[in-house]
């Protein structure tokens, strides 16, 4: 968020501390926006699950809990490596920083890979809403609604993951050029806030989508 080419503050700031505080506050404000953004979707989910609980439970049983659980573990692991990357930036260990950033990218990519596999699977099983939707029975329409929300919510989450991986890649390049120091590591810290937020969204998505089948 902040202009960061050198360890000098950008012209509008008096000092680096003010610049870092502004950057962090900016990210927090942005995350509040994100909460409202996902909040709209969670509201829609709540309304329809309230109305069509049974159809949602039936549809949820078609999701692969194993893959969902693995992805949850992968994401929590990526939050750990992200936190370690921030710590490395604070203590000025460049190689460790780059290593943990790469680990985070790797775990994020594993998550996205598993997600793509799941989407592909759903496509082959004809569980994508639309004319080819396979499920039949009295709750079929509600199950279709569940899958609409499943794709909208996890899709939006995946878009955030992809953006996050892109930002992390930029950080790796910046770290490689020695742009960060203990006095100036705000971009790593701010990206960390974003990454943890995206993880937390998944922590809510996993039970709400995968675990409501009552198996």
- Residue ranges that bind other proteins, judged by CB under 8 A: 1-3, 10-14, 18, 21-22, 25-26, 29-30, 32-34, 36-41, 43-44, 47-48, 51-52, 55, 129-130, 141-142, 144-145, 148-149, 151-152
Instruction: Report in angstroms how near the CB of residue 132 gets to other proteins at its nearest.
Output: 12
184, β-bridge pairs: 181
Tokens of 9: 């503050």
Kindly tell me which of 1 and 84 has the beta carbon lying closer to other proteins: 1
Nearest distance from C-beta of residue 62 to other proteins, angstroms: 17
Q: Which helix (H) or strand (E) holds 69?
A: helix 65-90
| Cα atoms in the 13 Å half-sphere on the side-chain side of 208 | 22
Rank residues 54 and 176 by Cβ distance to other proteins and give the closer one.
54
Nearest to 42 by CA among 214, 215, 200: 200
Question: To the nearest whole angstrom, how small is the minimum distance from the Cβ of residue 158 to other proteins?
Answer: 14
In eight-state DSSP terms, residue 11 is: T
Closest to other proteins by CB, 13 vs 119, is: 13
Long-range contacts of 127-132 (CB under 8 A, 24+ apart): 127/62
Give the residue with the Cβ less far from other proteins, 20 or 103. Answer: 20
Q: Which is nearer to other proteins, 101 or 171 (CB)?
A: 171
DSSP notation for 116-182: HHHHHHHHHTT-SSSTT----STTHHHHHHHHHHHHHHHHHHHHHHHHHHHHHHHHHHHHHTT--BT
Angle at 192 between CA 190 and CA 193, to 5 degrees: 70
Least gap, CB of 131 to other proteins (angstroms): 9
Query: Residue 96 or residue 193: which is nearer to other proteins going by CB?
Result: 193
Q: Find the shortest distance in angstroms from Cβ 115 to other proteins.
A: 18
Smallest separation (angstroms) from other proteins to the CB of 162: 16
Beta bridge partners of 181: 184
The position carrying tokens 């955030």 is 160
């Amino acid at each position: 968020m902040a202009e960061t080419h050198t360890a000098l503050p950008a012209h509008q700031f008096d000092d680096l501390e003010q610049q870092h505080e502004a950057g962090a506050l900016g990210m927090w404000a942005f995350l509040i926006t994100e909460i409202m953004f996902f909040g709209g979707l969670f509201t829609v989910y709540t309304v329809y699950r309230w109305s069509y609980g049974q159809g949602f439970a039936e549809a949820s049983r078609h999701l692969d809990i194993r893959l969902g659980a693995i992805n949850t573990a992968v994401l929590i692991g990526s939050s750990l490596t992200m936190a370690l990357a921030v710590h490395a930036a604070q203590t000025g260990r460049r190689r460790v920083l780059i290593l943990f950033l790469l680990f985070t990218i790797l775990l994020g990519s594993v998550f996205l890979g598993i997600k793509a596999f799941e989407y592909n699977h759903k496509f082959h099983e004809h569980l994508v809403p639309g004319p080819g939707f396979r499920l039949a029975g009295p709750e079929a329409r509600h199950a279709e609604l569940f899958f609409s929300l499943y794709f909208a919510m996890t899709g939006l989450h995946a878009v955030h993951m992809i953006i996050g991986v892109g930002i992390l890649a930029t950080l790796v390049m910046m770290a490689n050029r020695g742009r960060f120091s203990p006095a100036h590591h705000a971009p790593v810290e701010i990206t960390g806030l974003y990454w943890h937020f995206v993880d937390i969204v998944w922590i809510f998505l996993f039970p709400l989508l995968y675990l409501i089948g009552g198996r």
